[in-house]
Amino acid sequence: CRRDPGEVEFHQAAQEVLHAMVPVLRAHPEYVEARILERLCEPERQILFRVPWVDDRGTVRVNRGFRVEFNGALGPYKGGLRFHPSVNLGIVKFLGFEQIFKNALTGMAIGGGKGGADFDPKGRSDAEVMRFCQAFMTELYRHLGEHTDVPAGDIGVGGREIGYLFGQYKRITNRYESGVLTGKPVGWGGSHARTEATGYGAVYFAQEMLATRGLDLGERRVVVSGSGNVAVYAVEKVHALGGRVVACSDSSGYLVDEDGIDLGLLKDVKEVRRERISAYADAKPTARFSARGSVFDVPCEIALPCATQNELRQQDAVALVKNGVLAVAEGANMPCTPEAVEVFRDARVLFGPGKAANAGGVATSALEMQQNASRDSWTFERTEDQLAAIMRQVHAQCRTTAEAYGADADDYVLGANAAGFLRVAEAMTAQGVV
């Protein structure tokens, strides 16, 4: 903390991992001696840069760009780019740190990194977003490469932004290096099922957790927070598996539709028209929009927080437990505060931390890299089958690892952190002090 003052989200993420490491380090004193934790907490490289660009009125704007290449023991740095006004170094470091363990947990050859900018794409024209992306890549390109560092999307960065970023990378380097970015549209190097992967994966993870108690998703009431990429495809998969999502949200408020969220309308509002979630309620009489309170006040059996960090607080967890929630799977990164996680633990609610529950996105990005490397394109079904298998494996690994370190198999927090750590620590030890 003394070394990185003010990086509160990074400290929060690191504390969760350090806490889970107690039984692991007791069993592995060699990792204490090799200072693996100290080395893990220090990024291999942090890049901060100026992003100057010109808006539609001809005014010069200046943003700050970030890329934190946190750990490359298992493969090229891999992790998304976030464009949001709240982005700062502490946020990028928390996300990059989480990414190390998540990526290790997928079993694939990818290291951990994250990046972004404090740019707000809301209300910006396509031309402004393009100019911003071009300016951002004009600095970042020198740090990237399919064997070096491979960014993807995150909040505020979807297919449109990835397209503009890729175009600028190609122009500067004069290389059609498909594998340098993932989350590309399917027509030119993207993978089927990548857009859907994080949301689908979180629902698969919830399904696996429920199955351990002989339960399933059929007919269950579900609440999803957010209405961006992860949220929309979580809704889609819940409905496909027979559950009913009755509420979702954005930063302006939340929406309840007891008929079940109409996916076509949701996609039209958020993906095509890029409007606020209230536009859904304007278009559908059975829905009501609320600008006050929390989406987690809506009674449900399954909660999928899919918006942003620390959105689900202690009082939200208390409300969910009071309303009989059975399982919570984090589609977003660290959406539940530590106090909220404690409430779920005390109430024996099944809780899937983001490192495990949202690992489907990065796992499918790694599948996209495989397709790019072999100049191949797999079908949607083949890719989704692999995603489902990876989520089953991640879930099983969390449970067996938790048990191996003396905890209950339901301790997915311990299981995910320990399993991810062990894979990275082994590679770091074998590679020497570098």
The verdict on whether residue 78 carries a ligand-binding annotation is: yes
The answer to whether the CB of 401 falls within 8 A of the CB of 28 is no
The verdict on whether residue 102 carries a ligand-binding annotation is: yes
Is 229 one of the binding residues for ligand NDP (CB under 6 A)? Answer: yes
**Window 146 to 175, contacts with ligand NDP (CB under 6 A):** 153-156
Is 337 one of the binding residues for ligand NDP (CB under 6 A)? Answer: no
Alpha helices in 5-116 (DSSP H): 8-20, 22-27, 29-33, 36-41, 89-105
> Which residue's Cβ has the minimum distance to ligand NDP?
228
Instruction: At 26, list the tokens.
Output: 């007791």
Size of the site for ligand NDP (CB under 6 A): 23
Which of 37, 206, 230, 336 touches ligand NDP (CB under 6 A)?
230
Query: What is each CA distance from 121 to 131, 136, 180, in whole angstroms?
Result: 11, 13, 23
The verdict on whether residue 227 carries a ligand-binding annotation is: no
Is 361 one of the binding residues for ligand NDP (CB under 6 A)? Answer: yes
**Window 247 to 286, contacts with ligand NDP (CB under 6 A):** 250-252
Is 333 one of the binding residues for ligand NDP (CB under 6 A)? Answer: yes
The verdict on whether residue 229 carries a ligand-binding annotation is: yes
The answer to whether the CB of 78 falls within 8 A of the CB of 69 is no
Inter-helix orientation angle 380-404/194-211, to 10°: 40
Residues 6 or more apart whose Cβ sits within 8 Å of residue 419: 104, 105, 397, 398, 401
Nearer to ligand NDP, 125 or 251 (CB): 251
Nearest-angstrom CA–CA distance, 247 and 256: 4
> Shortest gap between Cβ of 17 and ligand NDP (angstroms)?
17
The verdict on whether residue 153 carries a ligand-binding annotation is: yes
Per-residue x/- track, 182-221, ligand NDP (CB under 6 A): ----------------x-----------------------
Is 330 one of the binding residues for ligand NDP (CB under 6 A)? Answer: no
Helix (H, G, I), strand (E, B) or coil at 211: helix
Nearest-angstrom CA–CA distance, 352 and 198: 14
**Nearest by Cα to 21 from 2, 36, 8, 4:** 36
Is 305 one of the binding residues for ligand NDP (CB under 6 A)? Answer: no
- The full DSSP string for 356-410 is HHTHHHHHHHHHHHHHHHTT----HHHHHHHHHHHHHHHHHHHHHHHHHTTS-TT
Give catalytic status of residue 284 as yes or no. no
The verdict on whether residue 397 carries a ligand-binding annotation is: no
Which of 72, 75, 190, 228 touches ligand NDP (CB under 6 A)?
228
> Shortest gap between Cβ of 60 and ligand NDP (angstroms)?
25
Provide the 8-state DSSP code for 268: I
Is 420 one of the binding residues for ligand NDP (CB under 6 A)? Answer: no
Q: What are phi and psi of 299, to 5 degrees?
A: -60, 135
Binding site listing for substrate: 78, 99, 102, 153, 365
Binding site listing for NAD(+): 198, 229
Binding site listing: 78, 99, 102, 153, 198, 229, 365
Residues making contact with ligand NDP (CB under 6 A): 153-156, 198, 226-231, 250-252, 306-308, 311, 331-333, 358, 361
Q: Give me the active site residues, please.
A: 114
